[in-house]
Copies of this chain bind each other. A is one copy, B any other.
């Protein structure tokens, strides 16, 4: 969360910044701001609470320059406001800085080094810019040395991008735990949190590592380690294309991304299964999984739900025990581990700070790890032993859809590859089944009118809702409820169908919507019993059942599929219901309030 852009050496600096921020808006949209300097004594600072479109309205035609930085904010410290918006300025008015991350020792820095400074914002970030200013203006360091020294004093996570009004031919850049890239152009350079923001300017990007600092001029990129020694690193070629990140004819990214799911499934099948049916994985990865006595899947949010779905898949297909852990919990209170654990990190962005702090710890303990991510070159990808890509294309809507089904798909293929390597026979034709799943999703996304109608009947007006299910349908219910809740603001809860009566059923009133997912043959009759219990209390039930288990009156029937792949499909109606309910309630489905994609703070 929080997105940073910078550019030096272009004439259309303001436009490059604003266009870049638009692409980063998924990272936060509480406020935004830019600072532009024409390298000739004239500069502009514009900050606005709200979205990039609000900022764009506030930027007048005079705001032009040759160097600039910009920021879109997801608030951590201090409410969203003009004052708390970035860039932040030193008291002297000389230094302008944008920041992504959380400075954990900001209170301490404030009370020890910066007692005499008047702070205008409630942010942790302002401490950084005031500290650098003090090191220059009071202690007499050069800006470069001051920047370098401040990095050693500041604890926490950060990506920093700074301009010194007295040296406007340079961008000062550094990162620790938060993502940041430098893009290399011809006669100009750019800086950004995500290549997506600048891929229209250049395809050549240099990765930055934690603890490094960089001085960027229009012709040169000077990488240094924490001690100021120069480092050489070649840029890589970004593979995303500007057209990948446009909405095309869609009103919102979320619907575009829901619709892309059958294509993603086919792409993954091609990527990981050869024409002859052999699996296309690094043999060392498969050996690592084989050697493990237990897999630990670590993730957050929607990816955590993909992990929950993955557990029975690995256990059924490959007979390998799995534990699924919330990243933010696991890192700080690690349970007793098995003797030979193998860690699997699920993260769409590959930047999830909660997961990354766990990876740092399991790396320190020497445990093998795999990251399954949509972002090549991302932090979690770089720091794990192995990476499997989701090949889903950029996911821009904040609510994850295609990355979720892609994660489960990769789990299915990987579990079957492991089963094959273990010599287990399970009669599961993974390529065929994934083909059927892709077709089944196509059938569902083709029935949009029906989904819009059901959304209207069940979710357009309600203040709360439940999704219930048993077995893998319980995991799907958790994800279905999260999807509904994060975009429509309906307080939706996913529940194990049998657990509802142990307390939460007291919330069921006349008309409370309860959606039930029924694809697990072992528990279908019990879930039907639970449906009767809530109907007896007045609930309005919506039943999503697999063809084999469907009964008269079930509103949504899923095509025939194996129970292994059905969770890839059973979530899709819930994605569409969440989408349409949100439009019906009048909200922006791509950018739900308070949220940001790529959660790079803990």
- Chain B residues contacting A300 (CB-CB under 8 Å) are 498-499, 502
A523 at interface by CB-CB < 8 Å: yes
Asked if A336 and B354 sit within 8 Å, CB to CB, the answer is no
- Can you list, as one digit per residue, whether each of A427-471 has a CB less than 8 Å from chain B (1) or not (0)? 000000000000000000000000000000000000110000011
Stoichiometry (number of copies): 2
Contact call A507/B522, Cβ cutoff below 8 A: no
Q: Which B residues lie within 8 Å of A78 (CB)?
A: 536
- Chain B residues with CB under 8 A of A520: 332-333
In contact, B507 and A485 (Cβ under 8 angstroms): yes
Q: Return the chain B residue nearest A301 by Cβ.
A: B502
Q: Is the CB of B329 within 8 A of A470?
A: yes
- Bound complex: CA of A522 vs CA of B332, how far in Å? 6
| Given A326-B499, A335-B315: A506 in contact with B595 (beta carbons within 8 A) | yes
Does any Cβ of B come within 8 Å of A302's Cβ?
Answer: yes
Tell me which residues from 499 to 548 in chain A have a Cβ below 8 Å from any Cβ of chain B: 499, 501-508, 520, 522-523, 525-526, 529, 532-533, 535-538
- Set B75, B463, B523, B529: member contacting A332, Cβ < 8 A: B523
A486 CB-CB contact with B under 8 Å: yes
Q: Do A332 and B470 have beta carbons less than 8 Å apart? A: yes
Which listed residue, B321, B502, B533, touches A75 by the CB 8 Å rule?
Answer: B533
Q: How far is the CB of A342 from chain B (nearest CB, A)?
A: 15
- Verify B503–A485 contact, CB threshold 8 A: yes
In the complex, chain A residues 86-100 whose Cβ is within 8 Å of any chain B Cβ: none
A340 interfacial by beta-carbon distance below 8 Å: no
Least Cβ distance of A225 to chain B in Å?
A: 29
Contacts of A536 in B (CB 8 A): 30, 75-80
Q: Which residues of B contact A200 (CB under 8 A)?
A: none
Contact digits for A489-503, partner B, Cβ 8 Å, 1 yes 0 no? 101010011110111
Q: Within 8 Å CB of A335, what residues of B?
A: 311-312, 315, 321-322
Q: Decide yes or no whether A580 CB sits under 8 A from chain B.
A: no
Whether, in the assembled complex, A66 has its beta carbon less than 8 Å from a beta carbon of chain B, the answer is no
What are the residues of chain B within 8 A of A418 when measuring CB–CB? none
Q: Counting CB contacts under 8 A, is A137 at the interface? A: no
Q: A602 interface residue, CB < 8 Å from B? A: yes
Contacts of A485 in B (CB 8 A): 503-504, 506-507
Q: CB-nearest residue of chain B relative to A482?
A: B503
A592 at interface, CB cutoff 8 A: yes
Known: A335-B315, A536-B75. A328 touches B486 (CB 8 A): no
- The answer to whether A329 touches B471 (Cβ under 8 A) is yes
- In the complex, what's the smallest C-beta–C-beta distance from A298 to chain B, in angstroms? 12
Q: Does A392 contact B (CB under 8 A)?
A: no
Rounded to whole angstroms, the CA-CA distance of A464 and B502 in the bound complex is 19
Q: Does A280 contact B (CB under 8 A)?
A: no
A593 at the B interface (CB under 8 A): yes
A525 to B601, CA, bound (A): 13
A278 to chain B, nearest CB (A): 27
- Check A319 for interface membership: any CB of B closer than 8 A: yes
Tell which of B102, B338, B532 touches A77, judged by Cβ atoms closer than 8 Å. B532
How far in angstroms is the closest Cβ of chain B from A268? 24
User: Closest residue of chain B to A329, judged by CB?
Assistant: B496
Q: Closest chain B residue to A321 by CB distance?
A: B336
Whether, in the assembled complex, A419 has its beta carbon less than 8 Å from a beta carbon of chain B, the answer is no
A104's nearest neighbour on chain B, judged by CB, is: B525
A574 within 8 A of B: no
Q: How far is the CB of A582 from chain B (nearest CB, A)?
A: 11
Q: Which residues of B sit under 8 angstroms from A594, Cβ to Cβ? A: 505-506, 508, 537
> Which of A327, A497, A503 neighbours the largest number of chain B CB atoms within 10 Å of its CB?
A503
Contacts of A537 in B (CB 8 A): 75, 79, 593-594
A298-329: contact bitstring with B at CB < 8 Å (1 yes, 0 no)? 00111010000001100100011110001111
User: CB of A487 within 8 A of chain B?
Assistant: yes
* Most chain B CB atoms below 10 A, which of A321, A532, A594: A594
- Given A328-B470, A496-B328, A526-B332, answer yes or no on A505-B76 (Cβ-Cβ < 8 Å): no
1/0 per residue, CB under 8 A from B, across A1-36: the answer is 100000000000000000000000000001000000
Contact B489 A491 (CB under 8 A): no
- Check A506–B493 contact: CB distance below 8 A: no
Distance of A91 from chain B, by nearest CB (Å)? 24
Docked Cα-Cα span, A312 to B335, in Å, equals: 7
- Provide the residues of chain B in CB contact with A533, threshold 8 Å: 75-76
Given contacts A329-B474, A474-B329, A532-B77, contact A301 B499 (CB under 8 A): yes
Complexed CA–CA distance, A43 and B58 (Å): 84
Task: State whether the Cβ of A173 lies closer than 8 Å to any Cβ in chain B.
Answer: no
16 A-B pairs whose Cβ atoms sit less than 8 Å apart in the complex: A75-B536, A79-B536, A300-B502, A312-B335, A320-B336, A329-B471, A332-B470, A333-B470, A333-B523, A354-B502, A482-B503, A485-B504, A486-B504, A491-B493, A505-B595, A506-B594
Top 8 closest A-B pairs, CB basis?
A328-B498, A301-B502, A75-B536, A486-B503, A333-B471, A321-B336, A506-B592, A300-B502
